[in-house]
Structure 1
Amino acid sequence: MSIKTVAIVGCGIGRSHIVEGYLPHSDKFKVAAICDLNEERLAAVGDEFGIERRTTSFEELLADETIDIIDICTPPGVHLEQVVAALGAGKHVVCEKPLTGSLAGVDRIMEAEKAAKGVLMPIFQYRYGDGIQKAKRIIDAGIAGKPYTASVETFWLRKPEYYAVPWRGKWATELGGVLVTHALHLHDMLMHLMGPAARVFGRVATRVNDIEVEDCASASLLMENGAFVSLSCTLGSQEQISRLRLHFENVTFESTHEPYTPGKDPWKIIAANDDVRQKIDRVVGDWQPVAPRFTTQMGQFHAFLSGNGPLPVTTADARRALELVTAIYQSSDSGAEVPLPVGPDSPKYADWRARTK
């Protein structure tokens, strides 16, 4: 098994990638370098994990042929250019969410991928954990039956001190608000379990903080499979929870309410009757624990790079999540329902800030 060398760019959330993603797989990955413009943070993370190579130069890492993977954990406003540059340099790339700030940007990345030696894996770590993975196995086995409805709630709390970080709360640097930076994970989880949306009606507003981007949102979705879904998001909840509740013909699923690890057990898995319960027990009876968040996603990424499995999260997955964001913004501006897919004819395709006519 070959050990892949990693350079982490951005030592904020990048530290979590080290702790949860790379250290548990020390036989698969070696964090060989870290990069950050904040030299104090660079030194602190380097000292904490014994990483000797520290730099403030992203370009230096691109030119280093000993680096296999560039892991981008920088503020969202620079993701697009850094991903394209890293792919152009022949690297495999990991990139935090949001991948970029428009569907045009995602499509530019997808074009860059076609000519690249390496692959891009966007981060959607909330897909991993025993709860969501059991639900996924039951649904994929056909036991859940016809999907009826679902609700997804992202009820978090962000106060002015959170937005004291200069790049947060601004269109140019954070790229969006609660839909892009906070609820994107849960909305990806929904589509991971229930498939893509077909039609979207949404509203967004800035009600909690003095910022440019939205901090409250709601949406009504018609899914391709016919199910109805409601989404609710706020950054003004005095009790922080993340909750998915999905109703199928034979099973109701409800996630844990813990805000930052909703994929973990315990999930409620409520069977319609004893026969369904027995089928569920047979499907998950041999269950092997699935580590939450980055631990499993990075492990599966290495398996893919070694030819032993699929890429766990793809650019198409990231595009699907950002297409939903685009549709909600467009619907909120126009007051009309938006059909999917969203393409270049959308006023929001190239810029979420563009007004819908």
Structure 2
Amino acid sequence: MSIKRVAIVGCGIGRSHIVEGYVPHPDKFKVVAICDLNEERLREIGDEFDIAKRTTSFADVLGDESVDIVDICTPPGIHLEQVVAALAAGKHVICEKPLTGSLSGVDTIMEAEKTAKGTLMPIFQYRYGDGIEKAKRIIDAGIAGKPYMGSVETFWLRTPEYYSVPWRGKWATELGGVLVTHALHLHDMLLHLMGPVSKVFGRVATRVNDIEVEDCASASLLMKNGAFVSLSCTLGSQEQISRLRLHFENVTFESNHEPYSPGRDPWKIIVQNDDVQARIDAVIGNWQPVAPRFTTQMEHFHTYLSGNGPLPVTTQDARRALELVTAIYQSSDTGREVSLPIGSDSPKYADWRARTK
């Protein structure tokens, strides 16, 4: 398998991509360039990881023929233009969440993908780890049975100091609040395990910090499979936890409560009876440990690029998560339940800030 040459654009969360996603795979990836407007950060990250090329120019990255993958870790407000430009330049693209700030934006990206030489992989690193992947295997094997109900809790803490970074907390640059940049991870995990949503009733509010975007939200979902799910999220929890608890006919799953790595073990797998346990043991009894977060997502991306596996996260996955965001915003505006899918006739399709009556 060939080593893919990577350029990191944005060295904030980009450093985590290097540490978790690329350093563990020296036979698969080499970070050959970093790009950031902060020259001090460029120097620090470049020196730390011995990266020779350091630039403040995104165009310079796109023009570098030695770069195979452009990994976009910039503030959300510029993801759309950067993804489209990187695809047009013939690069493979990795993009941090949120992919963009509207369903219209996602559809623009999907159009660009149709003629692109490269492939886009959005980031949803919380899908990876022993706990969630065991649950996924059990569900996909049909052992869990009929889905009944679930709850998803994103209880994190963000203080005024967090929002002192100029682009945070603003619609134009962060694109949304707790639903878009925090709980999106847990909500993707739900969709990954329980499938798509049919109907949504939601509420959002700004109660914790003096910001433009929401920092508290709740929603009641009817899944397409008939299950009921409640979502709760806040950025004002004095104890930070992330938790999924999903109830099926034969099994109840509960994630660990680590706020930023809920996909890891231990997950509770509570079975109906010994027969169900025996079926589970047959499926995961010889489990091989899975590295969490970026380590496994990047490994799977390399496998895909080498022609040996599926694309681990698709633009359609990102769209499904952002459609849920759109539905919650729309329901909160109107006080009414929203049915999915959401079409281009919705005022929220192109702009989440557009008021819906």
TM-score range, shorter chain: over 0.9
Listed as ranges, the matches of 1:24-103 within 5 Å are: 24-103=24-103
**Residues 1:19 and 2:19 aligned together:** yes
How far apart, CA to CA, are the structure 1 residues paired with 2:187 and 2:144?
A: 20
How far apart, CA to CA, are the structure 1 residues paired with 2:43 and 2:346?
A: 45
What is the match of residue 266 of structure 1?
266
Residues 152-198 of structure 1, C-alpha deviations (whole Å, 9 max, x = no match): 00000000000000000000000000000000000000000000000
Letter in 2 for 1:347: P
**Residues 1:174 and 2:174 aligned together:** yes
Shift of 1:14: 0.2
What is the match of residue 191 of structure 2?
191
How far apart, CA to CA, are the structure 2 residues paired with 1:288 and 1:111?
A: 38
Three-state SS of the structure 2 residue aligned to 1:261 is coil
Shift of 1:64: 1.0
How far apart, CA to CA, are the structure 1 residues paired with 2:241 and 2:61?
A: 38
Three-state SS of the structure 2 residue aligned to 1:242 is strand
What is the match of residue 335 of structure 2?
335
Residues 95-139 of structure 1, C-alpha deviations (whole Å, 9 max, x = no match): 000000000000000000001000000000000000000000000
How far apart, CA to CA, are the structure 2 residues paired with 1:342 and 1:7?
A: 35
Listed as ranges, the matches of 1:135-214 within 5 Å are: 135-214=135-214
Three-state SS of the structure 2 residue aligned to 1:203 is strand
Q: TM-score normalised to the size of structure 1? A: 1.00
Identical positions, percent: 85
Three-state SS of the structure 2 residue aligned to 1:25 is coil
What is the match of residue 297 of structure 2?
297
How far apart, CA to CA, are the structure 2 residues paired with 1:41 and 1:146?
A: 50
Residues 199-248 of structure 1, C-alpha deviations (whole Å, 9 max, x = no match): 00000000000000000000000000000000000000000000000000
How far apart, CA to CA, are the structure 2 residues paired with 1:157 and 1:314?
A: 29
Shift of 1:266: 0.1
Three-state SS of the structure 1 residue aligned to 2:279 is helix
What is the match of residue 133 of structure 2?
133
Residues 234-270 of structure 1, C-alpha deviations (whole Å, 9 max, x = no match): 0000000000000000000000000000000000000
Residues 278-333 of structure 1, C-alpha deviations (whole Å, 9 max, x = no match): 11111101101110000000000000000000000000000000000000000000
User: Structure 2 regions of 5+ residues with no counterpart?
Assistant: none
Q: How many residues align?
A: 357
Letter in 2 for 1:76: P
Instruction: Give the root-mean-square deviation of aligned CA atoms.
Output: 0.3
What is the match of residue 6 of structure 2?
6
How far apart, CA to CA, are the structure 1 residues paired with 2:136 and 2:100?
A: 27
What is the match of residue 321 of structure 1?
321
Shift of 1:36: 0.2
Three-state SS of the structure 2 residue aligned to 1:24 is coil
How far apart, CA to CA, are the structure 1 residues paired with 2:190 and 2:84?
A: 28
How far apart, CA to CA, are the structure 1 residues paired with 2:289 and 2:41?
A: 34
Letter in 1 for 2:80: L
Three-state SS of the structure 1 residue aligned to 2:231 is strand
Shift of 1:343: 1.2
**Residues 1:218 and 2:218 aligned together:** yes
Three-state SS of the structure 1 residue aligned to 2:6 is strand
Letter in 1 for 2:132: I
How far apart, CA to CA, are the structure 1 residues paired with 2:346 and 2:149?
A: 28
Q: TM-score normalised to the size of structure 2? A: 1.00
Letter in 2 for 1:23: V
Letter in 2 for 1:59: A
Three-state SS of the structure 2 residue aligned to 1:86 is helix
What is the match of residue 307 of structure 2?
307
Three-state SS of the structure 2 residue aligned to 1:256 is coil
How far apart, CA to CA, are the structure 1 residues paired with 2:192 and 2:278?
A: 24
What is the match of residue 121 of structure 1?
121
